[in-house]
Structure 1
Amino acid sequence: MDTGAVKLPIHEHPIFPSARIVFSTCKGCGVEDFVYGGYVCNDSDCKARFHKECAEAPSKISHSFHQQHPLFLTNGLGDLPCDLCGQKRLEAAGYSCPTCEFKLDLTCGINPSPPAIEHPICHDHPLVFLKKREEKAPCEVCKDSIGGPSYSCLGCDLYFHVDCVHLSKEVNHPCHPSHPLKLIASESLTDNAEKICLLCEQQPENMLYYCSVCNFTSCLGCTKRPPPLFIEHTKTHKHQLTLFLNGISYQGSALTYNSRAYMCLPCGFVVNGNGINLPQVININRHDHRISYTHQLGPGYLNCGVCREIVDRDCGAYACVVCSNYAVHWECAVHDNVWDGVELEGTSEITEDIAPFKVMGDNLISHFSHEQHTLRLHKEGIIHDAYALCEACTYPIGFDPIYSCEECHFILHEKCANLPMKKRLVFATTPFKLVGASSRVRDVIDCGYCGECSTGFKYASQRGWEIDVHCGSLSEPFVHNGHLHPLYFDSKENHSCNACHKVTVHMLCCNACDFDLCLSCASLPLKIRHRNDEHPLTLSCGETANGKYWCDICETELDPSKWFYTSFDCGVTLHVECVLGDFSRLMPGRMVDTVGGKKFYVVLNNHNTRPLCSMCRSRCKVSVILKACDEDNVYICSRSCFSDMVSARSC
């Protein structure tokens, strides 16, 4: 990114000129297309991009449609229609008259469409301009439906897109000076014709410009706004770069190209448009340190830290100066789901104190979530109560080292006590902050990534996203006893978890084999105590069995290909859902509200006689259940029963 920030009326933050060629939505005019150069905002909560002409729009104009008063550039006019074209593109910027409340979107303000065209290119009769109509009609040029303003021949009852009305049947294109391009319908192309635009590499749906001699195709957008033939950007390359289109197959400094690329022939340097003006220093959500762009990697780099594919040392990439073998493809690093959009070159790195506690003495700490008392570390398991829960993850204490309060019942696993106060997670591009369990009894997190509800610690982003601490504590590479290879985050459609066989989107996946693990199963305790058995239970990560397995809690058949709990001492086998249940991450004593206002306490199912669930009418098997606050003997055993109860009461 260029370093010269400018403050323009179009935007609240300083914006930077950028030579990158990216497919984006201009924050000024609201049009989504390829932005060749332009301006970009370096604020992580904004990341707005602008066409050059939109960013440099004048703050005051005189307009032919409103000659009585000047119009002023105004940000945030709301979800209102433009008074000229009728389209709702005023959310970001537009022109308005403070006297008459007349308003125009940015395009109509800078380049207004004439009210009539006496001699149009596309039709034999004069055309008049019409605002956006509710009733849609096909465009006579491109045949696509018209969803915005249009031009119409009132005598013929024909309609034309505002852009299509100016389309010539033949054009001279700067990127193809050898022959003129002819306007044709995409469906009329022969089987051997190039159907992809050679400039933006998108496939035009209806009309396009085509040269039959050279088999050259250009979409309407790239014909109207072609990419630059030459680019000078010293941070990308010291020499001028020239656009080449004709079937280049060349492994250059940023990628292997088979079509459009910018080249420096004397140096053999090749880059595509999106690789120009790359940020030099950035943060990504897959790594704890800053990474810096380099045109050529040294030895020792193997796989990309995002996609896990091989990183070519001769291609441009990002590398970490702290971690000697960590590198990321530049395409992966600057992806919208990975990079926060902030260029850090020239800014000093701020070292933050992310420790969650202060050391008060030997094995004594003061934790941010329990500052009223000190906590003592116990390396050996001293608590054998199956109902003793960690305040952070709300799972049973089990056999792990713990910090416990000697003045109250507050307990944390040692690993939970060490969770950093701030960290980057793959779920968003901005950092997350650790938040302790709320003192409000009704504060329940319903994590959208693992599907579990919890009253424990959470990670919260600057944008208000809340993630269960179990998901927030997972990191790459994730190593689990249930699989030989390391696992990495991915989002997949219609894939089932190998542990529970449930279909979910967010997974930890293996690149070496076809193994997927949902985030809920990834967080299952490996060893746990349960009141149904005096021996410790161990998580069995699926096995092939000849005979039948039975769950000792629900007394139904158990599928051994799914993960389950077992005791190596007595051989019992138990469903995971029977051991933990749906409410295992809710701390007993808390209160849960329903949509209809019904309140439930989270209680332990530790009585000699197990209560009946008020919905499914079966005995509550799991260790943590819900009990109605204002009614006796009203219990809920699972989330499905809870949902059924809410639905029944809302009818």
Structure 2
Amino acid sequence: MEELKNYGHQHPLLMLNEEQLICNGNGNGVVDCSRCGENLSAPCFSCVECCGFYLHKSCAEAPVELNHPFHRHHPLLLLQNPPYTSDTRCVCDFCDETCEKFIYHCSCGLDFHIKCALFTFNIAERNLKELEHVALEDPSFSSKNDGGILGKCFVCWEPLAIYTYFSLDCGFNLHKKCAELPPKMGHVCHRKHPLLLQFNSERLSCKICQVTPNRGLVYGCSPCKLAIHIECASLFPDIEDKSHQHQFTLFWRQIPNICDACGTEGHHVAYTCGTCSIMVHKKCVSLPRIIQHGLHVHRVFHKYFIHKEYFESLNCIWCHEVVDTEHGSYFCEYCNVIFHVNCALKEKKWYCIVSEENEDDKSLDIPVSSITEVLERNDAGEATVIEYFKHKHYLMLSDKIREHGDKCCDGCLLLISAKFYHCSRCDFFLQKSCAELPKMTLVPTHICRGTQFSGLKPIILTSDCMFKCESCWFISNGFSYKCNECGSPVCLRCMTHHFQDVVKIPGHKHPLLFYYDNKGQCSACGADFNGADGCKDCNFHLCVRCVLRPTTVRHKCDEHLLALSYDKINDYAKYHYYDICEEKRDPKHYTYNEGDHPHPLTFVKKFPYYPECVKCGEHCKDLSLECAEPGCKYIAHWECLV
């Protein structure tokens, strides 16, 4: 055994060969390096005091300060612990795994495992002799290929496929071509300076494909703040895309352009089709031609331009902004529905790609009516007597609100209004709109939880049990639609909301549109939301629960109907309290009005000043209802209004 210096350890270290390592490893030779945490292989070092401290030879000889060719601006300093607070996770900028101890750190924010820093240093310095102990292998036949799952190259982060690569004992995979990359290259996309192989320390997006690489190496020019993926830096041949009838040719000149495939601006190199006179981003060359999207019942097709006369509306159904039909979009030829390309493909969980072979297998929405038979009609053609699949007696159409105004619809559980169907033999009521809902249909917006979207699923109308709606989270015993696959229920109010293009509420002058990526606080109840109906011009947003709130309700504490109030902030905010919980109320949020007074009322306790009740004339010494309208002197005992 050769005794050497301690390499920062409190005791001297001894160099071990393979046989000695096996003896130290309790007979199996499995020992981890105290710096990089990887399994040891001989030659390595062990503490003479047998305190459990071991080092790879490379980790022991790692310099305290490393001038790395892939990061020329600052040295990398070897630290025993991450230079961050305990609640900040330190992540290696090369392999993207957590760094817990002995890391190389740079003042510009780069962090590397000791093994990652040394591995890339050897590649940069062309020290391929450090890799000679590993054979070149075909990963598809390698014994280290776990279950046939191929890894990715640790330099370009592209799949190994059938390329020959280094499979290192320390866990790295590397294309042979990436191990031999030139450290410097000239490029037609950037003629002013040579490009250097380096870490992307400034997190720059690739000049060619516009994607920001998270790990690995890039070719970059630091003075010009430019980065290019290793894959993108190679001169590409022309690309033939199956969704386009002609071949795309790479156009290296950097000129501002609008991509004809997606309609967004580009400042980087592009591909062109001279036959069609179009120019597209590299990433848009292979856009899927047909997709099934969760927001529409039919498949939508990608087109480079569309004649405007085909459309009644040119607003994207995801973001509601106008789509420029001079450039690419996804559209439905049956329904005048259109998407921006980037909106259609924004969320992977919302769409699936339809293969060319299944192009003619269209998904059409063919609802099955809930009314099993119409027995009578009036002169206007309305069904006045019907058989309904969820009730054993005939149902009759009525508009006698005065006679039945205190009844609730058995489907949506709201107070009946306008026209409704009722049973003359039992206490069963259905809003006309609820009775006309289909008993089975396909519905957009539903994605089975925990699954990737693979097409629209049939949903079935049911009334068999209590349920919590998956959309609004209200608990109900009314009717619901259940997914035929996952069983998730949706209440009738939410289903009606799904089928509405716009929502109009009495408290706002503009119609509301649903924004799926909208985040913020509800203007009515103050709750946080992720996706809501809103008016962007007014910065007004309503969560699903508040959109679905009934405009009138009954409460056991009041014999009158309570109407939903949409009044703005007033001067009495500090006196606003709720009756039931007696907590302070935010006057921006919705309340319900008492039907006998035209203004909203709020609960107050007047102390020490006791005004007179407008109902009985006595002083209001206890909980009372006061008008929230400035200038109105209305105040009454709670008991006087019950």
- The answer as to whether partners of 1:280 and 1:345 remain within 8 angstroms in 2 is no
**TM-score, normalised via structure 1 length:** 0.56
Aligned to 2:424: 406
Distance in 1 (CA, whole Å) between partners of 2:552 and 2:398 is 18
One-letter amino acid of the structure 1 residue matched with residue 315 of structure 2: N
Aligned to 1:310: 322
Deviation sequence 1:466-515 (CA, Å, 0-9, x none): 33333232133222222222323335586110011112223212232311
Query: Which of these residues, 470, 490, 503, is aligned with residue 478 of structure 1?
Result: 503
Shift of 1:337: 4.2
Shift of 1:411: 1.9
Aligned to 2:592: 565
Shift of 1:384: 4.3
Shift of 1:525: 0.9
One-letter amino acid of the structure 2 residue matched with residue 202 of structure 1: V
- The answer as to whether partners of 1:552 and 1:572 remain within 8 angstroms in 2 is no
Asked if 1:230 corresponds to 2:238, the answer is yes
Query: Which of these residues, 161, 172, 184, is aligned with residue 198 of structure 2?
Result: 184
Shift of 1:170: 2.5
Of structures 1 and 2, the larger Rg is shown by 2
| Closer, same or farther: CA 207–492 of 1 in aligned 2, 3 Å | closer
| Closer, same or farther: CA 556–170 of 1 in aligned 2, 3 Å | closer
Query: Which of these residues, 385, 389, 396, is aligned with residue 376 of structure 1?
Result: 396
- The answer as to whether partners of 1:434 and 1:457 remain within 8 angstroms in 2 is no
For residue 170 of structure 1, give the secondary structure of its aligned residue in structure 2: coil
| Closer, same or farther: CA 171–473 of 1 in aligned 2, 3 Å | farther
Shift of 1:352: 1.6
Aligned to 1:17: none
Percent of pairs with identical residues? 26
Distance in 1 (CA, whole Å) between partners of 2:424 and 2:173 is 75
Deviation sequence 1:141-194 (CA, Å, 0-9, x none): 8799xxxx99547xxxxx35112776335349999579996532233xxx7xx9
One-letter amino acid of the structure 2 residue matched with residue 470 of structure 1: R
One-letter amino acid of the structure 1 residue matched with residue 385 of structure 2: L
| Closer, same or farther: CA 398–557 of 1 in aligned 2, 3 Å | farther
Spell out the pairing of 1:237-636 with structure 2 (5 A cutoff). 238-254=245-261, 255=263, 256-265=265-274, 267-276=276-285, 278=287, 282-288=291-297, 290-299=299-308, 301-323=313-335, 326-335=337-346, 336-342=348-354, 345-347=359-361, 350=364, 352-358=366-372, 359-362=374-377, 363-370=384-391, 372-381=392-401, 384=404, 386=406, 388-395=407-414, 397-420=415-438, 421-428=440-447, 430-431=455-456, 433-439=458-464, 443-464=465-486, 465-474=488-497, 475-491=500-516, 495-547=520-572, 548-549=575-576, 551=578, 558-570=585-597
Higher relative contact order (CA 8 A, sep 6+): 1
Distance in 2 (CA, whole Å) between partners of 1:231 and 1:175 is 23
- The answer as to whether partners of 2:208 and 2:282 remain within 8 angstroms in 1 is no
| Closer, same or farther: CA 253–150 of 1 in aligned 2, 3 Å | closer
| Closer, same or farther: CA 122–565 of 1 in aligned 2, 3 Å | farther
| Closer, same or farther: CA 172–279 of 1 in aligned 2, 3 Å | same
| Closer, same or farther: CA 347–434 of 1 in aligned 2, 3 Å | closer
For residue 127 of structure 1, give the secondary structure of its aligned residue in structure 2: coil
| Closer, same or farther: CA 473–122 of 1 in aligned 2, 3 Å | farther
Distance in 1 (CA, whole Å) between partners of 2:433 and 2:473 is 23
Aligned to 2:130: 124
Deviates more, 1:520-529 or 1:475-484: 475-484
| Closer, same or farther: CA 569–123 of 1 in aligned 2, 3 Å | farther
- The answer as to whether partners of 1:150 and 1:160 remain within 8 angstroms in 2 is no
Distance in 2 (CA, whole Å) between partners of 1:532 and 1:407 is 31
- The answer as to whether partners of 2:386 and 2:396 remain within 8 angstroms in 1 is yes
One-letter amino acid of the structure 2 residue matched with residue 183 of structure 1: L
One-letter amino acid of the structure 2 residue matched with residue 460 of structure 1: K
Aligned to 1:621: none
| Closer, same or farther: CA 391–268 of 1 in aligned 2, 3 Å | same
| Closer, same or farther: CA 551–204 of 1 in aligned 2, 3 Å | closer
Q: Which runs of 5+ in 1 are unaligned?
A: 1-119, 134-138, 154-158, 577-651
Distance in 2 (CA, whole Å) between partners of 1:296 and 1:472 is 34
| Closer, same or farther: CA 295–167 of 1 in aligned 2, 3 Å | closer
Deviates more, 1:467-476 or 1:494-503: 467-476
